[in-house]
A and B are shown apart, each in its own frame.
Chain A
Amino acid sequence: MLAMTPFLRWILVVGFGLVCGAMTGLAAAYLRTGGWDLRSFVAFGVATCPVFASLAMVFAHQGDEVAHPAETVEHEWAHQALAQTALDLFILVGSTTAAVGVAGLDQPGIGWLLPVMMVDVALRFGVPKHRHA
């Protein structure tokens, strides 16, 4: 594995995610409708970009493994972030359901929960990391 600075590693990871997301978006934009479709490009590009970037992140961090990963502070942060996100999710869904019920509106779908959870867990992990750095 080539020695990479953290900045270069981030550039490569984000670049790989953007390029692969754009290629997936292009393929979707042309293949789904038989012609150019901006909505498909944006939807598929945005949805797949983080997935490809995450894959690149896994490969970029190969060789960084430690002998006892479960005893690291990062492992502790990840556990706390997941637990806090689960609580956030519980409160969010409960309050939304109650508010919608009281207002007599239609129940919203659950598709919006996934990006909210992803952002929430990233923030929950990132905040202590920056605070303790």
Chain B
Amino acid sequence: MENRLRPLREARGLSQAECAEALGVTRQTVISIEKGHFDPRLSLAFRISRLFGVPVDELFISEE
């Protein structure tokens, strides 16, 4: 699943470590989500959505 985490994070001026801390996960988790290697759980997806003020369906784009 593709996502817009990286552009949103960079637009906010957050490092991966700062983003990870704000979301309560590890930096590696943020890296893996940005690379599309890891699809987060719904609860984490909603925290990302709240952090950046973007609806979940605009944050994650299904490849289907």
B20 CB contacts on chain A under 8 angstroms: 66
**Which listed residue (A67, A68, A71, A132) contacts B35, Cβ 8 A?**
A132
Asked if A73 is an interface residue, CB under 8 A from chain B, the answer is: yes
Asked if A72 is an interface residue, CB under 8 A from chain B, the answer is: yes
A76 CB contacts on chain B under 8 angstroms: 38
Q: Is the CB of B24 within 8 A of A73?
A: no
Q: Is the CB of A132 within 8 A of B28?
A: yes
**Which listed residue (B25, B28, B37) contacts A71, Cβ 8 A?**
B25
A62 to B33, CA, bound (A): 25
Q: Is the CB of B29 within 8 A of A71?
A: yes
Q: Is the CB of B25 within 8 A of A68?
A: yes
Q: Is the CB of B26 within 8 A of A73?
A: yes
**Which listed residue (B24, B29, B33) contacts A74, Cβ 8 A?**
B29
B: number of interface residues (CB 8 Å) = 17
Q: Is the CB of B32 within 8 A of A71?
A: no
Within 8 A of A (CB), among B1-46: 20, 23-26, 28-29, 31-33, 35, 37-38, 40-41, 43-44
Asked if A114 is an interface residue, CB under 8 A from chain B, the answer is: no
Q: Is the CB of B28 within 8 A of A73?
A: yes
Asked if A2 is an interface residue, CB under 8 A from chain B, the answer is: no
Which residue from chain B places its CB closest to the CB of A71 in the assembled complex? B44
Q: Is the CB of B25 within 8 A of A66?
A: yes
Q: Is the CB of B29 within 8 A of A73?
A: yes
B29 CB contacts on chain A under 8 angstroms: 71-74
